[in-house]
Copies of this chain bind each other. A is one copy, B any other.
Amino acid sequence: MSSRKHQGQRPTLEAVAELAGVGRGTVSRVVNGSPGVSAKARAAVETAISQLNYIPNPAARSLVTSRTDCVALVIPESESRLAAEPYFSAVIRGVSTELADTEMQLLLILVRDRRELDRLTRFAAARRVDGVLLVSIHDDDPLPGLLEEMRMPTVLAGRRSPEESLSHVHSDNVGGAATAVRHLIDGGRATIATITGPLDMDVGNSRLRGWREALAERGMPVDERLVAVSDFTEEGGRTAMRDLLDRVPGIDAVFAASDVMAVGALTELRERGRRVPDDVAVIGFDDSVIARHTTPALTSVRQPIEAIGRSMTRLLLEEIAEPTTAHQQLVLPTTLIVRDSA
């Protein structure tokens, strides 16, 4: 009855049990920290484990528990935004930090086209992860609904609409935008334009709403010609600025819904010979690295992106552990970082 294991192989539970002189069940209990193991048995098993350098086979475990100990972070990158935006890096850092205390691993999934979307769908249907984090949500995004249908624990950064049914985390976009606009008003600006993000995204809408609310609150007229809808890209920001200036030459301030777009606006203003902040004040959103390096340095609304990543992960882990918990929502505060552009 002695062992005749292939020596090249990794040791199995069985091998540990044999060496420790106990049964498989006991080893399993020790490995998983289950109660009901005598101190003596536990010690014997632990010795055997470290002696054999035993590491459980995750596939075997996964087969029976149907857990994978993996979560996916899904980034739709159709607009090649991963290139320019430190946003995603920051989220990744946050997620990874929160996961570090766990045995969970992070799967990164970039979804750029239809094909990759299908791939992700199959992937989720195969239950290759225990949960999914979704960033950069568009209103008509099919993914959240799909995941909800297959009962996959999911947390969104942002939301499809103000009455989002899934758990989600986002920063106070309305408040942040309003603060920026108020700062412009307080600086004596009278004609404050805004360059928005895509309006099929809640963050685009909310930041626009912040602009509206701040103006209304101070009794300033809300002229729709001062709204240029854009797309979070530098080129888009520049084009928007151009349109704005053509439409209303007297503009003396712009609130852009992202730093990247603000940079585009800055370029256009320079080209037209408008001085910043003397002629036109500019405020961005995100407080990304780039904000410190523009000329003049960009005033911007900081949102705690890394914290968003951490919070999302925390919510997701809770939801995985306790799938019955009601969906939660978290709003994180923003801060206005004043530099030279406004």
Contact = CB atoms under 8 A, between A and B. Distances in A.
A290 interface: yes
Number of this chain's copies in the assembly equals: 2
A43 interface: no
Interface size range on A against B: 35 or more
Interface string A47-72: 00000010111111011001010100
Nearest to A115: B100
Contact of A110 (B60, B93, B293): B93
B57 A126 contact: yes
Contacts of A289: 83-84, 290
Interface stretch (A116-124, A208-216, A250-258, A322-330): A116-124
A304 to B, nearest CB: 14
Interface string A85-113: 01011101100100010000111111010
* Residue of A57, A59, A96, A108 most packed against chain B (CB within 10 A): A59
A128 interface: yes
Given A58-B126, A59-B59, A119 B100 contact: yes
Interface of A: 10, 53, 55-60, 62-63, 66, 68, 70, 73, 77, 82-84, 86, 88-90, 92-93, 96, 100, 105-110, 112, 115-116, 119, 122-123, 125-128, 263, 289-290, 293-295
